């Protein structure tokens, strides 16, 4: 069983998705394991199906509109599934379940932080982003501001998020493939890079969307099946399950009380701010609103995603509480070190032990394959976001000033996707044995400190000017990166210093506040003629954002 647990464990150790929950640990040296034939068969089936979809998508991708946003032809329900696929991570399934297994209520608080971002997206952004933009989030920020400078800022902000997030994904994926097939880590990373390049380069947003939809269905099915099997153990009585969990856990009633997470309220608040507002600034999430035909479908897609994600986290809570009883009482697992506070295969493996106990090797192998499908879906979405920032924002809109030849732009987009994959492969190999957990903090901090403030103020504040957006965006980017470097995750764990200069791993509450303050100060002190014109354009923008009048699904050129 150890080989199955280690196999699934490495898929999440650095999956690094939406979380502080997936253990921020260095993987260390990986020992080759006997082949997991169940997981390999399911993994190969997933790859074959998704490559088939990519081949089909290539025949549908005729224009830049098709490439960037699937021609606006994705339905609200389909896009909701794709959004959920982007967000429901193996890290959440494995990491949160194990947090609940060990700490009970504390793990449930994390699930709330993950979920809160979605009502925010639905009410604050969904319709307005769809009405104001066409390809990337820079469309919204530059609607009434200076195209050249704002698009450049937003493009580099998006690329920062994409590149660092990709590194964490590539490291985790490379380790997983290394175990699945017993091949060297470097070759494993190359395999992942080639697959993600194929999805984006040939299939564009259509292929990326369907990869995410398939992954979402697999994740929901696997988690639901395991939850049903676990609830059957308790006669489908949630009350009885909780009673048994309280009786089994060493903390007793204490597992239903907050403990570690409220020891430092500021740290918890900063983490929550990063997760909530960082999610609302992730380019590969926000650009999904451009794939639907209108604002109504955008709202529906977030509504569907919110329901699916909420359901998923409820299932995770059930799995965590069931694990306390089923895994915690099994003498086999006690021999593995649970009494000492450890699980076989690593601290995030409670749900995999539960899968083995409830469904044997078949369910365990299925969840292992789903973990890899999760990573492929995420890297495809990230690559698509980075490609769009380069080919649309920097090349077509900044360099060519909205006069790019569609054929040349398509060629640039394909070159960009291949280049991003190449960079991800190289960095994934270089970071092989490094602790890359700090990249998660950096990703969400930058998204919360650059993208989110500028988008929010561009949509809702008449006083925003180009100068203010530039000053605030740069301040947010610099402060987010600097504070992450000075945090315990980098200053102590990576650089080896005795104590961190900044005491918190997730600095979003500070860097985001700095971004808002500098943006406000830079805007209110801007008295130039251009600033006055930008403020005058707000009313037209506001009407279009609220009503959709004048909105179009066509790429401008």
pLDDT in tens, 114-141: 788 888 888 888 899 999 988 899 999 8
Tell me the pLDDT band of 213, cut-offs 50, 70 and 90: very high
Write out the residue limits of the CATH 1.20.1730.10 domain(s) in the chain: 39-431
Question: What does residue 487 show for φ and ψ, rounded to 5 degrees?
Answer: -80, 165
Model confidence over 57-91: pLDDT tens digits? 888 888 888 888 888 889 999 999 999 988 887 66
Rounded to 5°, angle at Cα 162 from 161 and 167: 105
> What percent of the chain shows pLDDT beyond 70?
85
Tell me the pLDDT band of 195, cut-offs 50, 70 and 90: confident
**Confidence (pLDDT) at 249:** 81
Looking at 1.20.1730.10, 2.40.50.140, 3.40.50.720, 1.10.150.530, the CATH number of the domain 39-431 comes to 1.20.1730.10
Q: What is the largest CA-CA distance in the chain?
A: 75
Confirm if 281 and 452 have CB atoms less than 8 A apart.
yes
Q: Say yes or no to pLDDT of 216 above 60.
A: yes
**Confidence (pLDDT) at 71:** 82
**Confidence (pLDDT) at 486:** 92
Q: Say yes or no to pLDDT of 344 above 80.
A: no
Tell me the pLDDT band of 8, cut-offs 50, 70 and 90: very low
b/e per residue 372-399 (b: at least 16 CB within 10 A): bbbbbbbbbbbbbbbbbbbbbbbbbbbe
Q: What mean pLDDT is reported for the chain?
A: 82
Model confidence over 234-250: pLDDT tens digits? 999 999 999 888 888 87
Confirm if 408 and 188 have CB atoms less than 8 A apart.
no
Q: How much is the average pLDDT of 334-340?
A: 41
**Confidence (pLDDT) at 264:** 77
Residue 344, C-beta contacts closer than 8 angstroms, at least 6 positions apart: 1, 2, 5, 333, 336, 337, 353
**Confidence (pLDDT) at 153:** 93
Tell me the pLDDT band of 512, cut-offs 50, 70 and 90: very high
Model confidence over 450-491: pLDDT tens digits? 999 999 999 999 999 999 999 999 999 999 999 988 988 889
Model confidence over 151-176: pLDDT tens digits? 999 999 899 888 888 887 787 777 66
Alpha helices in 234-328 (DSSP H): 238-248, 265-279, 283-286, 295-326
SS3 114: helix
**Confidence (pLDDT) at 11:** 37
**Confidence (pLDDT) at 472:** 96
Model confidence over 525-553: pLDDT tens digits? 998 899 999 999 999 999 998 888 876 64
């Amino acid at each position: 069983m150890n080989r199955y647990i280690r196999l699934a464990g490495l898929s999440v150790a650095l999956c690094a998705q939406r979380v502080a929950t997936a253990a921020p640990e260095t993987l260390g040296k990986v020992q080759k394991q006997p082949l997991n034939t169940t997981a390999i068969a399911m993994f190969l089936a997933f790859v074959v199906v998704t490559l088939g979809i990519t081949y089909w998508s290539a025949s549908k991708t005729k224009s830049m509109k098709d490439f960037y946003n699937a021609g606006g032809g994705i339905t609200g329900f389909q896009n909701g599934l794709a959004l959920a696929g982007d967000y429901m991570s193996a890290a959440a399934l494995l990491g949160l379940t194990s947090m609940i297994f060990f700490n009970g209520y504390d793990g449930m608080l994390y699930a709330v932080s993950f979920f809160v971002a979605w009502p925010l997206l639905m009410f604050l952004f969904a319709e307005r982003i769809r009405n104001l933009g066409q390809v990337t989030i820079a469309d919204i920020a530059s609607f009434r501001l200076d195209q050249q400078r704002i698009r450049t800022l937003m493009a580099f902000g998006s690329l920062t998020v994409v590149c660092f997030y990709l590194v964490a994904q590539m490291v985790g994926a490379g380790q997983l493939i290394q175990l699945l097939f017993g091949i060297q880590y470097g070759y494993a990373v190359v395999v992942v890079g080639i697959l993600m390049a194929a999805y984006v380069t040939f299939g564009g947003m259509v292929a990326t969307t369907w990869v995410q939809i398939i992954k979402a269905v697999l994740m929901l099915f696997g988690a639901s099946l395991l939850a049903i099997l676990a609830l059957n153990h308790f006669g489908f009585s949630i009350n009885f399950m909780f009673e048994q969990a309280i009786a089994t856990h060493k903390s007793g009633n204490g597992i239903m009380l907050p403990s570690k997470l409220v020891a430092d309220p500021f740290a918890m608040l900063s983490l929550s701010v990063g997760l909530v507002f960082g999610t609302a600034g992730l380019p590969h999430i926000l650009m999904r609103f451009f794939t639907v035909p209108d604002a109504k479908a955008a709202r529906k897609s977030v509504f569907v995603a919110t329901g699916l994600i909420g359901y998923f986290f409820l299932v995770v809570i059930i799995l965590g509480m069931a694990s306390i009883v089923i895994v915690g009482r099994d003498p086999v697992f006690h021999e593995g070190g649970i009494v000492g506070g450890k699980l076989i295969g690593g601290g995030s493996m409670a749900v995999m032990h539960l899968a083995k106990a409830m469904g044997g090797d078949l369910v365990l192998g299925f969840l292992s394959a789903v973990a890899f499908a999760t990573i492929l879906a995420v890297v495809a979405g990230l690559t698509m976001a980075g490609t769009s920032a380069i080919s649309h924002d920097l090349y077509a809109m900044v360099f060519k000033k909205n006069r790019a030849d569609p054929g040349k732009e398509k060629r640039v987009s394909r070159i960009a996707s291949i280049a991003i994959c190449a960079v991800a492969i190289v960095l994934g190999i270089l970071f092989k044995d490094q602790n890359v957990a700090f990249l998660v903090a950096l990703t969400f901090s930058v998204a919360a400190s650059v993208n989110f403030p500028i988008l929010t103020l561009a949509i809702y504040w008449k006083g925003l000017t180009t100068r203010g957006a530039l000053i605030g965006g740069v301040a947010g980017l610099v402060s987010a990166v600097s504070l992450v470097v000075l945090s315990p995750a980098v200053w102590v764990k990576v650089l080896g210093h005795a104590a961190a200069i900044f005491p918190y791993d997730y600095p979003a509450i500070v860097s985001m506040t700095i971004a808002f303050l500098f943006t406000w100060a830079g805007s209110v002190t801007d008295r130039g003629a251009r600033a006055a014109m930008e403020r005058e354009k707000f009313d037209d923008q506001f009407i279009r954002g609220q009503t959709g009048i004048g909105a179009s699904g066509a790429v401008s050129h």
